[in-house]
A and B are shown apart, each in its own frame.
Chain A
Amino acid sequence: MEEELLSIKNNAVSLILDASDLETLEDIKLQFLGKSGKLTLAIKEIAKLPQERRPSVGILANEVKSTIEEAIENQESNLKTQASKRIREKIDVTNPGIRPPLGHLHLVTQAIEEITEIFKSIGFERKRYPEVEWDWYAFEALNFPPNHPARDDWETFFIDSEPHKKFGPMLLTPHTSSGQIREMERNKPPIKMLNIAKCYRRQSDVSHTPMFHQFEGLVVDRGISIAHLKGVLDFFVKSYFGDKRESRIRPYHFEFTEPSFEVDVTCGVCLGKGCRLCKEGWLELGGAGMVHPNVFKNVGIDHGEFTGFAFGWGVERVLMMKEGIEIDDIRLLYSNKLEFLEQF
């Protein structure tokens, strides 16, 4: 019996040391230590031995078992180490990765998404209105006088069609402000809307494209004042341009707001000190103002009870004003050269 146990031990240890992979090792383990493994069976035989021999054989059997277990454990760890080493040596981690496809969203889309999120966080709801509009929505209801230059053929695109009896000529809206009239005709205050849309003006040069995008905000309620306009403006400028940029409002003139403001942001290059890219440290962001009483009158909102403010700024403009993006010709945005689009 003792001899048999020793032979099992020797046999097992030599097989274990020869095992070259984990699978073989697992087989060996089963072969000796499994339910019907050689050692397991031998140990069962011990019960048949005379009483006085059992303790010594039992001790030996246990020794054999732990020797085999230890050998398996050692060999397992050796094999694992070797395998890691092999994998380590085989792989060149500096080879390029296999990438999933990755395209690009247009800069304008990226800007629109960011702007929408900023205003959403302070309760503005984005809405959609027509791009092709009647004069009423684009000009007349916005208090533009009949002979205003924006209403003539040199600045606004008109559609070749019969004018509407009540709403006048059909045109491509030159600003998102037409959405103000649509919104106020449809809904009563409180109003807190954001309109981001395509606009069209009859000009094309390094800083103008005939089609461009604006974002327009309109807030109407009881007790809305210039202080609220300043609040929204400051919030947007800090959120979009960052903490280093400052904003200010100064007098300006628009037909559909009174008072009207021009909004400036400090130049991203000189941060307000003044440089060749800006006007004495400031860059114009766009227009804003308190909703004109005639506009309220035109949409049937009582301007004794309600006040409101509105702003309309160029998406492409804020995009260009953001630090780090300097595009010398805005028409590049719509040229759709992939070398350009794939940079963003």
Chain B
Amino acid sequence: MGGEGVEQAAVVPSPAAGRSRSTGPTGRPAREARAPVRRILTAYLFLLPALVLLVVFTFYPVVFGTALSLFDYDVITPPRYVGTAHFRELWSDRYFWVALRNSLTYLAVVPVLQLCSIVLALWVRRPLRGIAWFRAAYYLPVVTSIVVVGLLWRWLYDESGVVNYVLLRLAIIHTPVHWLTNPSIALYSVMLVTLWKGVGYYMVIYLAGLAAIPPEYEEAAALDGAGPVARLFQVTIPLLRPSVLLASTISAISALRVFEEVYVMTGGGPIFSTYTLFYYMFDQAFNALHLGYAAAVGVVLAAITIVLSAINFRLLRQGGLSYY
């Protein structure tokens, strides 16, 4: 914008100028069309650090990482083109199918997590005294490191840990449960931790969604004689749909990509019962150095994510306020 300061100064700012974006005072279309070279250069210099980093660490690795699934690569020798061989290999790979099944099973956490978060958000939006402290308490697990959470729950879940103690005392169980060492329940035990850690996060998203609904809608329904239950199910929840779409999509993507909880708590075991697709990709890439094969696993995971997000979007796109 170097030399235009003087010209701009001559223009009297219009009352609406504060709302305009970067066009400045109105009525200079001819100048806008041909920005001076210096001005373009300045703009790009401002953008340079971000653009370089984004290209190097986001665009390049995703695009070429996808292409890498068609190559054999072990970092040391140059990549060798193998076509779709990796995908055919995956088809007959036992570990891949086990990992895929576990990752898809993990999606079961999504509806439970969303339901709990919606109920919690409806509950803590009441103007009770001290409600901010309760919200903070529910949010605490969200800001805590996954490693601390994982170690903590590994101890709590131990055969002689607190969870078994409490359940034995309440006579809900009669012998200690092997939460993380029994292959048929370990995956669900990890899911419970994802639920515990995530509920506060989605609660905040739903609270924001609820705050965006104008109170007139519920008031009008009340005037029409709708009771609290009818208002909730026929007014509030349908209007909350955009938030449900957003939250359930985020939640489904992270459930499919689950890794850190599993890595800290079970290491994928016992006998691969908590081994997930992301875990398989991690192992193939950074332990076995089969980078091309790992990329193929990553591409399959990405494809499932995209399909699932599309389905989710179709199911939930209606509803909400029109200007959302």
A-B interaction: no
A interface vs B, CB < 8 Å?
Answer: none
